Amino acid sequence: MKALQFAFLCSGLLCLISFGFIYREYKFQNKLLTLSHKLHIEKIELDIVNRELDATIKQQQLQEGLIEAQKLSSLGLLVAGVAHEMNTPIGGAVISVSNADMALNKLNEAMKQGLTKSTLESTTTSIGENLALAKINLNKTAVLVKSFKKMAIDRHNDEFIACDIEKIIEELLLSLNSNLVVNALNHAFDEKQEGVIEIKVEQATNNRVRLSVSDNGKGVDGEIKADIFEPFYTTARGKGNTGLGLYMVYQWVTQILKGDIKLHSEPQSDTYFKTQFIITLPDLKAKSHYD
């Protein structure tokens, strides 16, 4: 019995020790499975993060491409704008110089055949008038170049400065002549019709500046008003218009000056001015320490 009891005791101890080893192995395997599961989850999360990172990098590359495309588009618009603005004065200067050259050739021919006083006076008068017109157009070109150069410099200057709006209008009137003013001259009035174009600047509410260009012409129809600020839209393409003038005005007002431009036109109304372009500029004093 004692031997049997000892055997049972030893068997119990061995079973207890074996159970302890088995339980420890079970705990170890369970912990290993838990760590493996966590590692698998982390791997999945890492793959998700990598995919999101790849998508972000691709999106950033796409944004950089779009920014570069916008820069090229802005450059193209600037080039088109400069060409559009300078076409008239340069063309006028070329025509005037050509006319003066033709008059000079006629004078040379007349000198070979016998020059009269009336021919000399008329020819020299013609040469003088054409050279004067050429000088006027070249001066306009110089002012436009100065204006574009100033605009290009000011676009890199984020500071607000004090300015004399009347002086600015006087200096930039040549530029306006190819946009809002000449737009009215080309489209607002019938042939040989006498009209009035008013440029008015006043202080609006909240210290904003309100500039309006109005005319008493025939007005703008509703179908045209919807697309009038779109690029390359024009109703007079046969007359050499490119449809960029009002689009550039819209970009200058909204993008550079951070203002707003609206067109008000009621052709059938009884108001004196049938068409009004109203430009509202923000309160710059609230953003600057300048008076």
Q: Give tens-digit pLDDT for 153-179.
A: 555 555 556 667 676 666 555 554 566
Using the predicted structure, report yes or no on whether residue 290 has a pLDDT greater than 50.
no
List the domain boundaries for the chain. Answer: 1-157, 165-284
At residue 291, the pLDDT reads 35
Q: Return phi, psi of residue 263, to 5°.
A: -110, 125
Cα 95–Cα 98–Cα 101 angle in degrees, nearest 5: 155
Are 183 and 199 spatial neighbours (Cβ–Cβ below 8 Å)? Answer: no
Q: How do residues 193-232 score in pLDDT, each as one tens digit?
A: 778 888 888 887 777 888 888 988 888 877 788 788 887 7
Share of the chain above pLDDT 70, in %: 75
Residues 92-116: what's their mean pLDDT? 85
CA distance 195 to 272: 11
For 122-157, b/e burial (b = at least 16 CB within 10 A) is: ebeebbeebeebbeebbebbebbeebbeeeeeeeee
At residue 289, the pLDDT reads 38
User: 0.75 exceeded by the pTM?
Assistant: no
Using the predicted structure, report yes or no on whether residue 264 has a pLDDT greater than 80.
yes
Give the pLDDT band of residue 288 (cuts 50, 70, 90): very low
Residues 80-108: what's their mean pLDDT? 82
Between 3.40.50.1860, 2.60.40.1940, 3.30.565.10, 3.40.50.970, what CATH number should domain 165-284 receive?
A: 3.30.565.10
Query: Looking at the chain, how many residues does it have?
Result: 291
